[in-house]
Structure 1
């Protein structure tokens, strides 16, 4: 994904091992521009692949990481500690260990919650924010522009608890099902721009995580009270949304823009929930233009 990659671990205050990768192999001695990527709910860094490659080619220093309880990080046995506050503190700990000052943070979907939590907790330790397709309202209330998720999620979780073998099989193997992949592709992406192979890789990565983590984080998004802190966040922010986002309706980006006083809003024509994958060249240039201003 990057020309040079240097994997490492950071151990948080509670002993959780956080996996991260940089494209540089030493603590920074200067005030280099460093970009941190925060992916979404049960997502992975493939959702930022075009951006990571673009900024790596331009010479920007980059840090990607796995949240606690995700993939190569530990914490799967203690999901209660997997909170947005702890995720933000983990990121801050990594940055301080590398002497990174005032990073540029890019978040997508649930990564917007993590990024905003970081800006709230460490207002003087962040340079700028790029927020893509996020929501500061409970996703159960607004996803697909209805409350269908609020109704369906408890039923699905109940089914998974009563039929663990069946649900686990579906969770682990849905990426093999062409119909399941099409439903995900049609619901979350621009079908004219994104191929089935991308969705297959995405869904296979989901199968590496636990269903318990998914339900836990969905509940954490519901409980996240960041909306009450938005007016106190002064970090320069670029808010991006797709005008064809079926998962997070556009008005959520307008709410962010309204309450984040130092923000720009950019709506991508024909963009889905993942506009950075639909139109990578367009988004890369727009993000670059914003970053250069600060």
Structure 2
């Protein structure tokens, strides 16, 4: 702590950066690590593992086909109206941005008098009763009052109601073929993307697990993280700059069926790629990614402080990250951070990353347009991302599955590696059930066949005929035989 404070003080006096912004040297340069120059002078470390596996033909004609038919309407007040048009569509939902259901909304009502027409007025919900009462009074006047003037009809006396004009309307109509992705198929690739302060090493348990199962895995270090290069300009760490890096990495290693796994800030890059390459993204996993809101940096944040001040506070920030990112704060968790090179970035990079999270396109509509199956994994003890945000994300997405781990927090892939690996593997192997083909109905229905057999029995055994049906007393007192109704064909 004292060393960090002295270095920060010298930084403020000399006006120089307290951190030497250079890439960290990797200790295993030949164990599946590659260095990719995405732009001149911008080099990213990538771990790429191609396991030894038997040659298996690509699956053809497997899996189920899901029809994605959706109409999304956005109004000027931010209200979202989602209409599912598929066969399995649920009821129409009209939601606010905070997730609460809004049964009624303000409507534009045009009131027209007998002689003069007034401009359209917006009436709030609280005045709906008065509008109804006005309608009743108009109806009464039309019945008992004077006759309408020439050229006017009864419809002109009633208010004409129309919905307010939507700001934007998006229609989605496509079909996706979703199949199980096995590790023995050479057309499957798994991409792991970490968040702020992490590195590719936080995915160590997942990389080992899936590579042993025969999957090809790719995971990069973001710029300024791990062993990737760290430019000294703030513009190098904006969302769009980092997203472009991930796009180039994806184009380099993509296969026919690609699965994206993102954590925290990395989920936003996965969403970006799913929009850019919808046909190549087969499935996606969001781990503690938060809600479907547009990104913008916070004005009142500790990361807005000067770099030298952040360097002085780096021990405090590391302790805060340990407390908020892990359900337990023991020696094991501290060792996990040290071994996996997590939250080991310079103050300059950390400040630039937090201030560069500006992505206005990533709103609810942007996420609602995704048609890829998505698994949401949330740690119950996460203090960075509330569970309500992931619940809202699951409501907005078309095909989403939310799984909550009670023993995990923000770094759930490091705390509960076995549970996370199991969830991911089950989701990767999941495919929708193929609906059975409808059988052609026979010419004779079962009910008809049963009735015919009953008729045969009734004819052959007259003693079983019900007395109330078989016998009927006539008006003259005699008894008349009447056949059973079931015996009629």
Q: CA deviation at 1:275?
A: 1.8
Alpha-carbon distance in structure 2 between the residues aligned to 1:31 and 1:25: 10
**Aligned partner of residue 281 in structure 2, secondary structure:** coil
Give yes or no for contact 1:181–1:199 (8 Å, CA) kept in 2.
no
Q: Which has the higher contact order (CA 8 A, sep 6+)?
A: 1
- Structure 1 residues 221 and 42: CA distance shift in structure 2, 3 A: same
Alpha-carbon distance in structure 1 between the residues aligned to 2:342 and 2:422: 28
Which residue number corresponds to residue 20 of structure 1? Answer: 46
Structure with greater strand percent: 2
Encode CA deviations 1:199-235: one digit per residue, 9 max, x unaligned. 3446x6534x332322222233354531230111111
Q: CA deviation at 1:152?
A: 3.6
- Identify the range of structure 1 (87-96 vs 247-256) with the bigger mean alpha-carbon deviation: 87-96
**Aligned partner of residue 232 in structure 2, secondary structure:** coil
Q: CA deviation at 1:37?
A: 0.7
**Aligned partner of residue 328 in structure 2, secondary structure:** coil
Alpha-carbon distance in structure 1 between the residues aligned to 2:366 and 2:226: 30
- Identify the range of structure 1 (213-222 vs 237-246) with the bigger mean alpha-carbon deviation: 213-222
Which residue number corresponds to residue 300 of structure 2? Answer: 151
Q: CA deviation at 1:18?
A: 2.5
- Structure 1 residues 285 and 180: CA distance shift in structure 2, 3 A: same
Encode CA deviations 1:150-179: one digit per residue, 9 max, x unaligned. 5342xx533x35xx2x643543xx3xxxx8
Query: Is 1:8 aligned to 2:34, yes or no?
Result: yes
- Structure 1 residues 102 and 200: CA distance shift in structure 2, 3 A: same
Which residue number corresponds to residue 322 of structure 2? Answer: 185
Which residue number corresponds to residue 47 of structure 1? Answer: 202
- Identify the range of structure 1 (253-262 vs 65-74) with the bigger mean alpha-carbon deviation: 65-74
**Cα root mean square deviation, aligned:** 3.3
Alpha-carbon distance in structure 2 between the residues aligned to 1:9 and 1:157: 32
Which residue number corresponds to residue 145 of structure 1? Answer: none
- Structure 1 residues 231 and 185: CA distance shift in structure 2, 3 A: same
**Aligned partner of residue 348 in structure 2, secondary structure:** helix
- The aligned runs of 1:95-110 (5 Å cut-off) are 95-98=250-253, 100-110=255-265
Task: Please give the TM-score of this superposition, normalised by the length of structure 1.
Answer: 0.79
Which residue number corresponds to residue 247 of structure 1? Answer: 384
**Aligned partner of residue 251 in structure 2, secondary structure:** helix
- The aligned runs of 1:1-294 (5 Å cut-off) are 5-12=31-38, 16-24=42-50, 31-74=186-229, 76-98=231-253, 100-135=255-290, 136-137=292-293, 151-153=300-302, 156-158=303-305, 160-161=306-307, 164=308, 167-171=310-314, 174=315, 183-191=320-328, 195-201=333-339, 205-207=342-344, 209-227=345-363, 228-294=365-431
Alpha-carbon distance in structure 2 between the residues aligned to 1:196 and 1:90: 30
| Structure 1 runs not aligned, ≥5 long | 142-148
- Structure 1 residues 14 and 84: CA distance shift in structure 2, 3 A: farther
Give yes or no for contact 1:113–1:221 (8 Å, CA) kept in 2.
no
Give yes or no for contact 1:238–1:266 (8 Å, CA) kept in 2.
yes
- Structure 1 residues 219 and 138: CA distance shift in structure 2, 3 A: farther
Alpha-carbon distance in structure 2 between the residues aligned to 1:218 and 1:224: 15
Alpha-carbon distance in structure 2 between the residues aligned to 1:277 and 1:36: 17
Q: CA deviation at 1:98?
A: 3.9
Encode CA deviations 1:66-98: one digit per residue, 9 max, x unaligned. 123333333513431433344343333334334
Larger of the two Rg values belongs to structure: 2
Alpha-carbon distance in structure 1 between the residues aligned to 2:250 and 2:359: 27
Encode CA deviations 1:99-126: one digit per residue, 9 max, x unaligned. 5333211100111111111112221221
Alpha-carbon distance in structure 2 between the residues aligned to 1:99 and 1:7: 17
Alpha-carbon distance in structure 1 between the residues aligned to 2:272 and 2:296: 20
Alpha-carbon distance in structure 2 between the residues aligned to 1:258 and 1:33: 28
- Structure 1 residues 25 and 46: CA distance shift in structure 2, 3 A: closer
